[in-house]
Copies of this chain bind each other. A is one copy, B any other.
Amino acid sequence: MEKHDQLLMKKQNKNLVLDLIKNHSPISRMELAKVTGMSPTSITRIVNELHMQGFVRETELVTSGVGRKAALLDVCGDVLYTIGVEIDKLAIKIGIVDYIGKIVAWQQIERDETESYNETLEKINGIIRLLITEQGFSDEKIIGIGVGLPGFIDYKNGVVKISDQLKWKNVDITADLKKLTGFDVIVDNELKMKIMAEHFKGMTKDAQNAVLVGIGSGIGSAIMLNGEIYRGDSNNAGEIGHTVIDPTGNVCNCGKIGCLATYISEGAIIADSRKVKNIQTIDEVFASYRMGESWAMNLMDRATTFIALAISNILCLYNPEVIILSGNTIEKLPEIKSAIEQKCELYIWDPVKENLKFVYSLLGNEGVVLGAAIQTQNTLLDLE
């Protein structure tokens, strides 16, 4: 074999062993050799390297009956950290996350709808500095920042092409935030970040294919196939918000008629509410719903119909093992879950319902931040 291939294979083997320890710890060297098919000598060499680099430690000693005791291996959470950032219309959330996905520091602040792009970045930099200082970390411990936000993102070039919610267009957030913070930065759509968290420690851990649906100020979905985000040709895969549900229906701000988002996004629900009552926020709509006001009941009844339709259509097209429902609407108004489920029971085609796991996200508030931090590890950590 060529020298170059040998080096590549060596690196791949090392990453494979580290992944196995990370996902199956505690695990013995013998098990690692068995699973990988590598020789015990190779495993010992790789584990020693990982130990010296601080990734791996020995935990307890176990005995397999005869012979000397074997040490079990575990990864060290504190070997490195990444920072996850969620930017939403009205909130910024930031967390420092360790190598095993534990959030060790957290800060959430309000965001003013009118604040400029630069103001938002300055705020983020300020909080990151504060959190790092509080934790007493040196910058070397932190390998980068991951940002998740609603909108259409050119993740390869690190540019936000358009975010209606944040009113940003063609901003080079990775370059700008790197200039401010000094750290490498990646950016992606919030739901794509969130499904990374579901995959790493949430609802889809063992699934080959899964869809995460987000219903709130924006309407979208993220798709995970074989442990990787499926993006489509231009990173728009999963854009259910702009599927046309009724060609004779509502006008959408994208210029089309009958997009799903025009029936179930917070903005659409608020706009329709104003035809009846002087409503400012989605919380007021939900309060009216809870008071049993018929207009709010009607609006949310229509919304649950269209949410169930969206789920039905995604399931027909992707036939996933798991579908996860998440987002503000579900979190703030959990009462509508049973209506959604009842309508799904009617609308979902039997063959794609059979083995389906239909669940709600349990990551709540932290999902995007955690996913962004995990994706930063995946993207920026290049183990030699």
- Asked if A30 is at the interface (CB within 8 A of a chain B CB), the reply is no
- Asked if A316 is at the interface (CB within 8 A of a chain B CB), the reply is yes
Q: How far is the CA of A187 from the CA of B136 in the complex (A)?
A: 62
- Asked if A242 is at the interface (CB within 8 A of a chain B CB), the reply is yes
Q: How far is the CA of A318 from the CA of B221 in the complex (A)?
A: 11
Give A231-280 interface residues, CB cut-off 8 Å to B. 231-240, 242-247, 254-256, 259
- Asked if A347 is at the interface (CB within 8 A of a chain B CB), the reply is yes
Measured CB to CB, the nearest residue on chain B to A252 is B349
- Asked if A314 is at the interface (CB within 8 A of a chain B CB), the reply is yes
Contacts of A234 in B (CB 8 A): 319, 351-352, 354-355
Scoring A residues 339 to 355 as 1 if CB is less than 8 Å from chain B, else 0, what string do you get? 00000001101111011
A159 to chain B, nearest CB (A): 14
Q: How far is the CA of A328 from the CA of B206 in the complex (A)?
A: 41
Query: Residues of A within 8 Å of B, CB-based: how many?
Result: 52
- Asked if A305 is at the interface (CB within 8 A of a chain B CB), the reply is yes
Q: How far is the CA of A230 from the CA of B39 in the complex (A)?
A: 35
Q: How far is the CA of A355 from the CA of B259 in the complex (A)?
A: 21
- Asked if A320 is at the interface (CB within 8 A of a chain B CB), the reply is yes
Q: How far is the CA of A298 from the CA of B230 in the complex (A)?
A: 39
A192 to chain B, nearest CB (A): 13
Contacting pair A240 B316 (CB below 8 A): yes
Check A317/B320 contact, CB under 8 A, given A256-B349, A352-B234.
no
- Asked if A313 is at the interface (CB within 8 A of a chain B CB), the reply is yes
Contacting pair A239 B39 (CB below 8 A): no
A229 to chain B, nearest CB (A): 12
Contacting pair B242 A349 (CB below 8 A): yes
Q: How far is the CA of A317 from the CA of B320 in the complex (A)?
A: 13
Contacts of A238 in B (CB 8 A): 317, 319
Q: How far is the CA of A37 from the CA of B4 in the complex (A)?
A: 9
Contacting pair A37 B152 (CB below 8 A): no
Contacting pair B309 A247 (CB below 8 A): yes
Contacting pair A233 B309 (CB below 8 A): no
Contacts of A5 in B (CB 8 A): 37
- Asked if A312 is at the interface (CB within 8 A of a chain B CB), the reply is yes
Q: How far is the CA of A312 from the CA of B246 in the complex (A)?
A: 12
Check A236/B4 contact, CB under 8 A, given A152-B351, A349-B242.
no
Scoring A residues 24 to 47 as 1 if CB is less than 8 Å from chain B, else 0, what string do you get? 000000000000011100000000
A338 to chain B, nearest CB (A): 18
Check A233/B355 contact, CB under 8 A, given A37-B4, A349-B254.
yes
Q: How far is the CA of A326 from the CA of B236 in the complex (A)?
A: 24
Instruction: Pick the most buried of A4, A236, A245, A317: most chain B CB atoms within 10 A of its CB.
Output: A317
- Asked if A382 is at the interface (CB within 8 A of a chain B CB), the reply is no
- Asked if A321 is at the interface (CB within 8 A of a chain B CB), the reply is yes
Scoring A residues 342 to 384 as 1 if CB is less than 8 Å from chain B, else 0, what string do you get? 0000110111101110000000000000000000000000000
Check A235/B319 contact, CB under 8 A, given A243-B313, A312-B244.
yes
Contacting pair A317 B355 (CB below 8 A): no
11 new A-B contacts, CB < 8 A, other than A236-B316, A238-B319, are A2-B37, A225-B230, A232-B319, A238-B317, A243-B312, A244-B347, A246-B246, A255-B350, A256-B349, A259-B349, A314-B317
> Chain A: residues with CB nearer than 8 A to chain B?
2, 4-5, 37-39, 152, 208-209, 221, 225, 230-240, 242-247, 254-256, 259, 305, 309, 312-314, 316-321, 346-347, 349-352, 354-356
Which 6 residue pairs across A and B have the least CB separation, nearest first?
A232-B319, A242-B349, A237-B319, A236-B319, A243-B313, A239-B316
